[in-house]
Structures are given as C-alpha cells and as structure tokens.
Structure 1
Amino acid sequence: MTDPDLIEITRLLNEYFEGLYNADTKRLRQVFHPTANLQSQGLRLTRDEWLHRVVNRAIPSEINESYRYKIINIDILGEQAMAKVECPLLGNFYIDFLSLLKEKGQWTIVNKMYANAPENYQRQSNTGE
C-alpha cells in the first residue's frame, strides 16, 4: 500500500528541486507557504526575500551544473511532516531541513533551515540504529 501523503510530499519536493535548478520562482512560490521563513546560521529571510535572491543569482541549469538533488528522509505525522534533502547548488552542498503542513488538503513548505555541508558529509542518525 502506498501512502498518498508520501506521494504528494515527494512530488512537492521534486517541484522544489526543479524550482531551485531552474531558478523558477513561480514554481518555488507554489511549494512555499506565503508566510514561510528561510533560515540559516546568521540569516533570516521571508519567502519573498529569498525568491528575490533566487531570481538574481546564477541559474544552475543554464550553467550546466549537475542535477544531484536528493531526498534523504521524509517523516510524516498526521498533517505535519519534516523532510531532509540534499541540494548541491552553485558550488555548495546544502542540506535542507524542510517543515511542511497540510492545510485545506494541500501540502506546503512552511519553514526551511539549511546548512552548507562538505561534499564528504556523512549522514548521521542518533536513533541507535
């Protein structure tokens, strides 16, 4: 049996990846809630402040950057979810932690925290597994 929420979140994350790779702010605007925040060490942005940065940076697809985005983990509890994804982008290796909510039947990203990790980053778990 396949979980329809997992399918929908996976679709949304792939839309996110496509939006990043093509600097497609229309696509990104659709996957992020209007009040979403984007946060990193020493940086706090609204969705629209971040989209302004996206549209004014190099476009990975136009500079033939490799498409290496990857979903690491999705954890769903009811109408809330957390996703951990790899986003190699413009010479950086970002790890994004995305908070999602399902409201009015639709999943959106409501918060993004991210860090630039080294390419040799090893996924770690403290679950004892």
Structure 2
Amino acid sequence: MSALADIEQVLQDYFDGLYHCDTDRLARVFHPRAIYATADDGEALLHRTMEEYFPVVDARESPASRNETRRDSIDAIDLAGANTAHARVRCSIGARDFTDFLSLVRTDGRWQIISKVFEIRPN
C-alpha cells in the first residue's frame, strides 16, 4: 500500500472509532503519547492525553446507537516526507460539526495520529 492509502485507512478507522465510541479502535490509530486539544470553548485551552480522552469517549452514547447518519470526510492529506503527514478532516456527532487537524507520524512501519486539534461548530 502507498503512504496515502495507509493514512486514508487510519482516518477511516478514526471515523469508525468515533461513530461507534470504540476506544479499542481509537487506541490503534492514536499514538499512546498523542495529544487532544482545542480552544473552542473560549479562551481556555482544553488539552488531554489519551488516558484522559478515552474515558470521555467511553462515556458517550455512540452516534451508531442513535442511528445517526454518518457525516465524515477527508478534506486533505499532506505528506511532509516519508514519516510525517497532516490531515484535515470533518465529522459530525449529534448537533455538532467538527473540523479536525490531525498530525500523523509513521513509527515502527505504521501511521498513527500524534495530535488532534479541532474546532466545533453547531450544525
């Protein structure tokens, strides 16, 4: 597979993990030392590690369980080199639309998300 196809698969697994609130799947696509961040709720920065983020996902009612229509897409993937990439993706959960900027690294032969920085918009 090409780097682009490998990254697209990681992003599809990311979308599936969010839609099903499947933290086992998310743990495969996020590097264990990844960060999750937004300043969307005002001036304060929200920053979480994966240890802090996964319990939040586990506590959610999944969009799949509510039979929500899937609304996720990849806007762009930029390769910086053989081991670093950036993706801009969009997805919706409930009444909120998310634009995510995902930085990815390739370590041990596989791509993983090392940071998620996002913006929330009501839909």
Same fold (TM over 0.5): yes
User: Does the aligned pair in 1 maintain the 2:95–2:122 contact within 8 Å?
Assistant: no
Say which of 39, 49, 52 aligns to 2:52: 49
Structure number with the bigger relative contact order (C-alpha 8 A, sep ≥ 6) is 2
CA RMSD of aligned residues (A): 1.1
Equivalent residue number for residue 76 of structure 1: 79
* Greater C-alpha radius of gyration: 1
* Structure 1 residue 118 displacement after superposition: 4.8
What whole-Å deviation, never above 9, does each CA across 1:24-80 have from its counterpart, x for those lacking one? 110000000000000000200001211100000111000011101100000002110
User: Matched residues, percent identical?
Assistant: 38
TM-score by length of 2: 0.91
> Which residue of structure 2 aligns with residue 124 of structure 1?
none
Q: 2:117 corresponds to which residue? A: 113
Deviation at residue 104 of structure 1 after TM alignment? 1.6
Aligned residue number for residue 103 of structure 1: 107
Name the CA distance, whole Å, in 1 between partners of 2:101 and 2:122. Answer: 16
Q: What is the total number of aligned residue pairs between the two structures?
A: 117
Structure 2 match to 1:6:
4
Which AA in structure 1 matches 2:61? A
SS in 1 for 2:113: strand
> Which of structure 1's runs of 4+ aligned residues deviate more than 6 A?
none
**Gaps spanning 5+ residues in structure 2: where?**
40-44
Separation in 2 of the partners of 1:118 and 1:72? 19
The 1-side partners of 2:116 and 2:53 are apart by 11
Equivalent residue letter for 2:54: L
- How do 1:18-57 residues align onto structure 2 when only pairs under 5 Å count? 18-41=16-39, 42-57=45-60
TM superposition shift of 1:91: 1.2
In structure 2, the residue corresponding to 1:72 is in which secondary structure?
A: strand
Secondary structure at 1:117's aligned position in 2? strand
